Amino acid sequence: MATTPSNSNRVWTNARLATMAADAGTPYGAIEDGTVIARDGRIVFAGKRADAPAFGQAEVIDCEGRWITPGLIDCHTHLVYGGDRANEFELRLKGASYEEIARAGGGIVSSVKATRAATEGQLFASADKRLAALMAEGVTTVEIKSGYGLDTDSEVKVLAVARRLGRERPVGVQTSFLGAHAVPAEFKGRSGDYIDLVCGPMLDAIAEQKLADAVDVFCEGIAFSPEETARVFTAAKAKGLAVKIHAEQLSNLGGAALAASFGALSADHLEHLDEAGVIAMAKAGTVAVVLPGAFYFLRETQKPPIELLRQHGVPIALATDANPGTSPLTSPLLTMNMGCTLFRLTPEEALAGMTRNAARALGLQDEIGTLEAGKACDLAIWEIERPAELAYRIGFNPLHTRIRNGQ
């Protein structure tokens, strides 16, 4: 369908805006009686209706006083995987130990087996449903990690599915190669050899096909050491790829500071992060991504050091961590509620965590995350009276309309 430039002007008016602009000077960057003007999918004006420039011929949408926020950004997910782990969840609640579950083929091994066995079509179909759940609550950009394939062909397959979701659905998809998620069974006791594979043939194949926007590592006692993490980051940097880390979730190995020394976009989880790590992140501009879904599902008690992050000015993002083992969560609104109830974020911090700061965690802060001229016109329009409602209510979806690139 051909559209002339004048036809592609769209205007949303009679709206209340939570622009989430960093320097707005009001909570949420709020503007009463606001207008958003988009041309060819990009915002050309977001501000008071009285200040709006003439926009010529355009489609005008009366928002009847509804709130408009930036489209939500889920900056940490593992959306593409085979099978599920509901059976394991049930076994554990019937009293089975982790050992018994592992012996019965459970744990990450089961997700790897199911992911390797699945076709691209099957992986696409199951991930598509989870993506639809995110989009139904206003998500316009999502990050998707690999990490359940753990061999070259399967990691390529998972990332190709993630790219296809971005092509075929009206949502932005950023991909991260997480080959260093776990040591696969065939490399048991030889994690160094596995890291050779990750840094060599796997990364070569993925970089050559341009399947990843960033490279991620799970740095933890049960996963990879800081030394192994540094090897992966060095290889990623040599390919010109950004880096991210799963760090300080179960113990403090100094992973966040290590990642900061590589200029990482983000360090994620961070329950056991210390002040030295916080300072290193602040210096490097590395975003702290907190994941209350995993904290909740694992019934953890150690919370990330939110107050220290605030004191040192580290931007805090919030994400679902949607994955089959530790966070089967595909609700950004519930994630915001958990960020507030479990980690004591304010509702404004929670919304910033799924808009402005999430964009930064993906290196997309010039592109998305706030309602400002020059950015993509990704909007969520809500049937609410005040923005705090987004984090306040549980199990209720007030989304009225979701707009991606002005459509």
To Zn ion, the closest distance from the beta carbon of 76 in angstroms equals 6
Tell me the pairing of strands 139-145 and 214-218.
unpaired
Each residue 321-360 as x (binds Zn ion by CB under 5 A) or -, in order, gives x---------------------------------------
Among residues 260, 257, 250, 262, the alpha carbon closest in space to that of 223 is found at: 250
To Zn ion, the closest distance from the beta carbon of 199 in angstroms equals 20
Which residue number, 9 or 326, has a Cβ lying nearer to Zn ion? 326
Which residue number, 248 or 321, has a Cβ lying nearer to Zn ion? 321
Q: Are 252 and 275 in contact (CB under 8 A)?
A: no
To Zn ion, the closest distance from the beta carbon of 293 in angstroms equals 10
Count of residues in contact with Zn ion, rule CB under 5 A: 1
Which residue number, 321 or 349, has a Cβ lying nearer to Zn ion? 321
To Zn ion, the closest distance from the beta carbon of 17 in angstroms equals 32
To Zn ion, the closest distance from the beta carbon of 287 in angstroms equals 15
Chain residues 361-390 in contact with Zn ion, contact rule CB under 5 A: none
To Zn ion, the closest distance from the beta carbon of 350 in angstroms equals 19
Chain residues 149-168 in contact with Zn ion, contact rule CB under 5 A: none
Q: Are 239 and 202 in contact (CB under 8 A)?
A: no
SS (H, E, C) the chain: CCCCCCCCEEEEEEEEEECCCCCCCCHHHEEEEEEEEEECCEEEEEEEHHHCCCCCCCEEEECCCCEEEECEEECCCCCCCCCCCHHHHHHHHCCCCHHHHHHCCCCHHHHHHHHHHCCHHHHHHHHHHHHHHHHHCCEEEEEEECCCCCCHHHHHHHHHHHHHHHHHCCCEEEEEEEEECCCCHHHCCCHHHHHHHHHHHHHHHHHHCCCCCEEEEEECCCCECHHHHHHHHHHHHHCCCEEEEEECCCCCCCHHHHHHHCCCCEEEECCCCCHHHHHHHHHHCCEEEECHHHHHHCCCCCCCCHHHHHHCCCCEEECCCCECCCECCCCHHHHHHHHHHHHCCCHHHHHHHCCHHHHHHCCCCCCCCCCCCCCECCEEEECCCCCCHHHHCCCCCCEEEEECCCC
To Zn ion, the closest distance from the beta carbon of 269 in angstroms equals 7
To Zn ion, the closest distance from the beta carbon of 216 in angstroms equals 8
Each residue 309-328 as x (binds Zn ion by CB under 5 A) or -, in order, gives ------------x-------
Which residue number, 220 or 321, has a Cβ lying nearer to Zn ion? 321
Which residue has the closest beta carbon to Zn ion?
A: 321
Which residue number, 294 or 391, has a Cβ lying nearer to Zn ion? 294
Which residue number, 76 or 163, has a Cβ lying nearer to Zn ion? 76
Chain residues 115-134 in contact with Zn ion, contact rule CB under 5 A: none
Among residues 234, 227, 293, 222, the alpha carbon closest in space to that of 262 is found at: 234
Which residue number, 268 or 348, has a Cβ lying nearer to Zn ion? 268
Which residue number, 72 or 381, has a Cβ lying nearer to Zn ion? 72
To Zn ion, the closest distance from the beta carbon of 387 in angstroms equals 27
Which residue number, 321 or 348, has a Cβ lying nearer to Zn ion? 321
In the complex, the residues that contact Zn ion under the rule CB under 5 A are 321
